[in-house]
Amino acid sequence: MNKKSLLIITVLVALILGTVAVVYTIVYKKAKLANELISAGKSQQPQNAENPQNNSSGAVGGAKENKPSDRQLSPAYVLEKDKFSISIPVGWKDEYYPSVSAMVLNQADELNDPAAMKDGFKSYFSVSHEDLRGHSREEYANEVKKQIMGISKDAIINNEKYGTINGHDSYSFESKLTRDGINFRVLLVFVKGDSDDIWTMSFNTTEVYWDSYKSIFTDTANSFKIKSNAAG
């Protein structure tokens, strides 16, 4: 993979995982984000990767849903963009963020984690769009994995699955990692576009609340729809 392509992937992964620990900067500390992205760690050897499983019906399998809060939540809606649409869960809201196609926060998040609360972390997901520049989806995803292992030396990558999302080939995996004393769980979903392009969805929460959010993340990923002529 050439240096330009690797740089693009590195920036993407830094955004995905760097903002895991500092997504609160969108509202509270925007100026700090650049330093967090630049300081993403150096490469470590991958570990604990499992073999992919086929899943033709969607990105990942379902999980039991537990509602994190009984408080009054904002209604669900469909976020319509020029090139795609995606369902926004109850209680979540999209925020403007210039480096990604969409950034959606759970504004009603109640995470009982002192470190996460101190940082003002909210569970969130993002959507990014990139040119593959002649590389395959698998090559792109493998570069992302390498970068993840570089950012968090104890990161675990597992539950890899192939499938389709609304007529487009998809590939997903989960990751466990620790940053700034917070144990995170991440679901990354890659969807092949209509041309030489790829869409990446990154779903992020804490380890404690993973079981509560996994089915929400899965349903949201499977709602993703690419609009025609959206490769440009």
Asked if residue 137 has pLDDT above 60, the reply is: yes
Residue 208, pLDDT score: 87
Residue 144, pLDDT score: 87
Residue 213, pLDDT score: 93
Instruction: Tell me the per-residue pLDDT of 12-46, one tens digit each, with 9 for 90 and over.
Output: 444 444 443 333 333 333 323 333 433 333 333 33
Residue with the larger pLDDT of the pair 3 and 44: 3
Distance linking the first and last C-alpha atoms of the chain: 22
Residue 115, pLDDT score: 63
Residue 49, pLDDT score: 35
The whole-model pTM stands at 0.71
Burial of 214 (0-12, 13-18, 19+ CB in 10 A): buried
Mean pLDDT of 105-116: 72
Instruction: Tell me the per-residue pLDDT of 161-201, one tens digit each, with 9 for 90 and over.
Output: 999 999 999 999 999 988 778 888 999 999 999 999 999 99
The overall average pLDDT reported for the chain is 73
Instruction: Tell me the per-residue pLDDT of 45-80, one tens digit each, with 9 for 90 and over.
Output: 333 333 444 444 455 554 434 444 444 566 889 999
Asked if residue 10 has pLDDT above 50, the reply is: no
Residue 72, pLDDT score: 56
SS3 category, 174: strand
Under a CB-based contact definition with an 8 Å cutoff, are residues 46 and 149 in contact? yes
The percent of residues in the chain predicted with pLDDT above 90, rounded, is 38
Asked if residue 99 has pLDDT above 50, the reply is: yes
**CATH fold for the domain made of 3-226:** Protein Transport Mog1p; Chain A (3.40.1000)
**Domain locations in the chain as residue ranges:** 3-226
Q: Determine how β-strand 53-54 pairs with β-strand 156-165.
A: parallel
Residue 40, pLDDT score: 38
Residue 223, pLDDT score: 98
Q: What are phi and psi of 148, to 5 degrees?
A: -60, -45
Asked if residue 4 has pLDDT above 80, the reply is: no
Q: How far apart are CA 11 and CA 8, in angstroms?
A: 5
Residue with the larger pLDDT of the pair 111 and 45: 111
Residue 52, pLDDT score: 43
Residue with the larger pLDDT of the pair 62 and 212: 212
